[in-house]
C-alpha cells in the first residue's frame, strides 16, 4: 500500500474494488476500471455530476490532480480511496499482512494480531494483474510476508509470470527459512529476479533477540540465511542504526564477512522515528553523528573486502565525507522530505532527504556548502 488519498462519499459502491485509472477527463473527474469490468468514477466535487447518475461514483476526492493514467486504487464503500500502485513511483510494494512473528522495538508499522492474510491476498491477486508489465521494481512487505506460507510462493509465482520484466524485493525477517523444507517451496522461482532483504541487528544473539523481541530469532535468522545461501538465493542484510546496534557494528561487519560471505549487499539504515520508536525512544534514539565512527569503520571494512555496502535513510550532511559515496536515495518518494535547513545545500540533488513520517529530526542537519 502506498498512502491514503482521501475520505469521500461513495454512491452505488457495494463492495471494495481494485481498479486501474483508465481515463482522466480533467482534475475533477477520474475514470477507473476493475479486472471484471466494473467502472468507478472519482470526482473532486461533493455532489454527483448529472452525467454520472446511476454509476459507481466516489465524490469529494480532493487529490485527483496527483493521480495518473495507470495508477491502481483500492476503492471502499465508505468512501476511502487508497493508492496501491503509482506509475510515476519507483517505490511500489505489495502489502501482504499486518501480522508478524517478531515485534521489533523500532518497527515503523507495528504488527496487529488479526488474521488478514486472505484479505490482502485477494487484493494483491487483482493488483498484480493491473500493474504495467514494464514495471522494473516491486517490493513485497508487511508485517511478515512469510506468514503467508504457500500463498506467498503463489504470489511470487504470479508476479514473475505476469510481470516478466520486474525485479522483486522482499522485506522479511527470514526466520521461516530456518526450515529447509520451506526454502524448497521457492526453488521454482526465478532466483535472478528476487532479493530477500533480511534484518540482522547484531553478531550477538541476545542483543538481536532483544531488539526483535522474539526468543531464538537470531539462531533462526542465521540458519535461514545459510539455507537461502545454500540454495543460491540473492540476499541483502539490513541493520537499523540506533543505540542498541551501533556499538557492535564493526563486529557485525566482521561477522558477516566471516560467516555470511554469500550475501550480495549490506544496508545500514537510519532510524524512522515513528511506529514503536517514539515509545522506545530512550532505548533507541541517538544522533547519527554519535555513531559516525562505528558506521564509517564498518562500511569501509566491508567495502575493502569486496562486499557491496550502502547507507540508507541518512542525509549526506550527517555522514562523514568518506562514507557519503555509500549513501543511497532510499526513502520512498511518498515519505521523503527536505527541511528548511537543506536550502542552498550543494549536494541536495544527491541527497536522499529525511523521513517525513518521523516525529523528530536530527538537530545536526544543515546545508553542505562547497
Q: How many domains does the chain have?
A: 2
Residues 331 and 347 in one domain: yes
Q: What is the pLDDT of residues 251-263, one digit of tens each?
A: 999 999 999 999 9
Residues 282 and 152 in one domain: yes
**Percentage of residues in the chain with pLDDT exceeding 70?**
98
Q: Is residue 365 part of a domain?
A: no
Residues 128 and 109 in one domain: yes
Q: Is residue 290 part of a domain?
A: yes
Q: What is the pLDDT of residues 334-346, one digit of tens each?
A: 899 999 999 999 9
The per-residue pLDDT for 3 is 53
pLDDT greater than 80 at residue 4: no
Residues 216 and 118 in one domain: yes
Residues 241 and 301 in one domain: yes
pLDDT greater than 60 at residue 231: yes
Mean pLDDT of the chain: 95
Q: Where are the alpha helices (DSSP H) in 194-326?
A: 205-212, 217-230, 249-259, 281-284, 292-304
Q: Which of 85, 114, 143 is the last residue of a domain?
A: 85
Q: Which of 85, 115, 146 is the last residue of a domain?
A: 85
Q: What is the pLDDT of residues 80-135, one digit of tens each?
A: 999 999 999 999 999 999 999 999 999 999 999 999 999 999 999 999 999 999 99
The per-residue pLDDT for 6 is 65
Residues 247 and 273 in one domain: yes
pLDDT greater than 80 at residue 176: yes
Q: Is residue 68 part of a domain?
A: yes
Residues 19 and 126 in one domain: no
CATH number assigned to the domain comprising residue 231: 3.20.20.70
Band (162; pLDDT cuts 50, 70, 90): very high
**Taking residues 21-38, what's their average pLDDT?**
90
**CB proximity list for 302: less than 8 A, separation 6 or greater:** 253, 256, 257, 266, 309
The per-residue pLDDT for 21 is 96
**Taking residues 348-354, what's their average pLDDT?**
96
Residues 81 and 116 in one domain: no
Q: Is residue 350 part of a domain?
A: yes
pLDDT greater than 90 at residue 71: yes
Q: Is residue 178 part of a domain?
A: yes
Residues 210 and 249 in one domain: yes
pLDDT greater than 70 at residue 5: no
pLDDT greater than 50 at residue 1: no
pLDDT greater than 90 at residue 51: no
**Taking residues 8-18, what's their average pLDDT?**
92
Q: CA 82, CA 334: separation in Å to the nearest integer?
A: 13
Band (194; pLDDT cuts 50, 70, 90): very high
Residues 200 and 252 in one domain: yes
Closest CA to 255 of 202, 311, 216, 210: 202
Residues 182 and 280 in one domain: yes
CATH number assigned to the domain comprising residue 75: 2.40.50
Q: Which helix (H) or strand (E) holds 19?
A: strand 17-26
Q: Which helix (H) or strand (E) holds 30?
A: strand 29-34
Domain that holds residue 19: 3-85
CB atoms within 10 A of CB 232: 10
The per-residue pLDDT for 142 is 96
Q: Where are the alpha helices (DSSP H) in the chain?
A: 117-130, 150-162, 180-184, 205-212, 217-230, 249-259, 281-284, 292-304
Residues 18 and 146 in one domain: no
pLDDT greater than 60 at residue 53: yes
Q: Which of 85, 110, 142 is the last residue of a domain?
A: 85
Amino acid at each position: 500500500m502506498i498512502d491514503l488519498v482521501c475520505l469521500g462519499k461513495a454512491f452505488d459502491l457495494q463492495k471494495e474494488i481494485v481498479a486501474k485509472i483508465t481515463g482522466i477527463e480533467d482534475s475533477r473527474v477520474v475514470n477507473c476500471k476493475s479486472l471484471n469490468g466494473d467502472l468507478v468514477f472519482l470526482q473532486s466535487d461533493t455532489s454527483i455530476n448529472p452525467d454520472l447518475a446511476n454509476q459507481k461514483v466516489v465524490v469529494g476526492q480532493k487529490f485527483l490532480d496527483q493521480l495518473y493514467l495507470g495508477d491502481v486504487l483500492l476503492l471502499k464503500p465508505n468512501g476511502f480511496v487508497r493508492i496501491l500502485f503509482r506509475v510515476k513511483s519507483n517505490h511500489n510494494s505489495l502489502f501482504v499482512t499486518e501480522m508478524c512473528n517478531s515485534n521489533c522495538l523500532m518497527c515503523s508499522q507495528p504488527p496487529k494480531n488479526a488474521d488478514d492474510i486472505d484479505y490482502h491476498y485477494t487484493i494483491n491477486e487483482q493488483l498484480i494483474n493491473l500493474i504495467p508489465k514494464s514495471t522494473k521494481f516491486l517490493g513485497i512487505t508487511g508485517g511478515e510476508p512469510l506468514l503467508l506460507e504457500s500463498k506467498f510462493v503463489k504470489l511470487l509465482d504470479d508476479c514473475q509470470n505476469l510481470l516478466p520484466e520486474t525485479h522483486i524485493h522482499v522485506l522479511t525477517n527470514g526466520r521461516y527459512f530456518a526450515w529447509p523444507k520451506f526454502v524448497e517451496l521457492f526453488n521454482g522461482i526465478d532466483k535472478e529476479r528476487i532479493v530477500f532483504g533480511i534484518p540482522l541487528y547484531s553478531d550477538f544473539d541476545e542483543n538481536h533477540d532483544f531488539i526483535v523481541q522474539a526468543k531464538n530469532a537470531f539462531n533462526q535468522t542465521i540458519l535461514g540465511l545459510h539455507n537461502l545461501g545454500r540454495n543460491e538465493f540473492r540476499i541483502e542484510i539490513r541493520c537499523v542504526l540506533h543505540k542498541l546496534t551501533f556499538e557492535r557494528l564493526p563486529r557485525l561487519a566482521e561477522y558477516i564477512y566471516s560467516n555470511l560471505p554469500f550475501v550480495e549487499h549490506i544496508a545500514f539504515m537510519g532510524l524512522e522515528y515513528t511506529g514503536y520508536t517514539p515509545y522506545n525512544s530512550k532505548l533507541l534514539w541517538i544522533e547519527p553523528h554519535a555513531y559516525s565512527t562505528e558506521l564509517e569503520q564498518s562500511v569501509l571494512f566491508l567495502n575493502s573486502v569486496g562486499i557491496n555496502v550502502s547507507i540508507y535513510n541518512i542525509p549526506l550532511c550527517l555522514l562523514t565525507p568518506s562514507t557519503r559515496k555509500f549513501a543511497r536515495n532510499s526513502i520512498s518518494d511518498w515519505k521523503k522530505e527536505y527541511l528548511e535547513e537543506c536550502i542552498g545545500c550543494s549536494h541536495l540533488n544527491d541527497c536522499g532527504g529525511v523521513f517525513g513520517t518521523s516525529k523528530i529530526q536530527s538537530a545536526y542537519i544543515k546545508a553542505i556548502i562547497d
